[in-house]
Amino acid sequence: MITEYKITDKEFDLFSTLVYKESGIRLGENKKSLLVSRLSKRLRILGLQTFKEYFDKHLKNENDGELIQMLDLISTNKTSFFREQAHFDFLRQVILPVLSSVKQIKIWSSACSSGEEPYSIAMTLYDNVANPNQWNFRILASDISTRVLARAQEGFYDVNQVSEIGNAKVKLHFLRGKGKDEGKVRVKSHLREIVSFNRINLMDERYPVKNDLDIIFCRNVMIYFDRSTQENLMIKFFRYLKPGGYVFIGHSETLQWLDHPYQYVAPTIYRKPL
């Protein structure tokens, strides 16, 4: 008989406090059913009967790798290629021409999910300079979820995920699968070689990132954070941008109500002053 798990208010408080501390994600009361549905299978695998037992045995001391597993299951990873096209247009029309004299650009996709964002950035760079081989393209792609990072690094996608990119771009940048991989595509090596992947928790005080970035993409992440967490994150990002560097946020996000050091450029685009 399959156990049907339920969570008490006290248990939910334990999990929501831990998730907030470790990821910045605030789980309101309306997220109880989401937490139960996403963690129930994990409890079954571990042979546990209650959420309190799971917390006490595997999460309380944060020492057996289970915390990362739990955060993987809780975090939402929804994305698509060239989502929020205005950012890629700005990169193509404004930023690349300015950097054409140095032929170098460094970008951090800080919540890359399954890789569609960093590979969209890579395609934009590759397609909009005269000779890509003369440029030094560096894209760091990170996420809190090791599960989606593994998928991103592999670079495999269903054909329908690239259907809106256009046949010419798909042919240039993707290999079509055959046999058992029929119906799938894989990002070609010339793009995968310019994207590096690393698990980074945005709640950490310092990041394994050099402080000379041209752009930080942090889109549709802050909607899960409270105001103080949003402000702290933007201040931390500020350290890693070079003067004149940009931060791109999601279409449903704004820095308007935050205390921050950036210059407003356009909706969802902000700049570190020169």
Catalytic residues: 38, 143
Residues linked to residue 268 through DSSP beta bridges, in sequence order: none
One DSSP character per residue, 201-244 reads -TTSSS-S--S-EEEEEE-S-GGGS-HHHHHHHHHHHHHHEEEE
Residues linked to residue 247 through DSSP beta bridges, in sequence order: 216, 270
Q: Could you give the CA distance from residue 113 to residue 220 in angstroms, rounded to a whole number?
A: 11
Percent helix / strand / coil, the chain, rounded to 5: 45, 20, 35
Cβ–Cβ < 8 Å for 175, 67:
no
Cβ–Cβ < 8 Å for 139, 64:
no
Which 3 state secondary structure label does DSSP give 38? helix
Q: Could you give the CA distance from residue 139 to residue 228 in angstroms, rounded to a whole number?
A: 28
Pick from 181, 192, 185: which is nearest to 161 by CA? 185
Q: Which residues contact 228 (CB under 8 A, 6 or more apart)?
A: none
Pick from 171, 151, 170: which is nearest to 162 by CA? 170
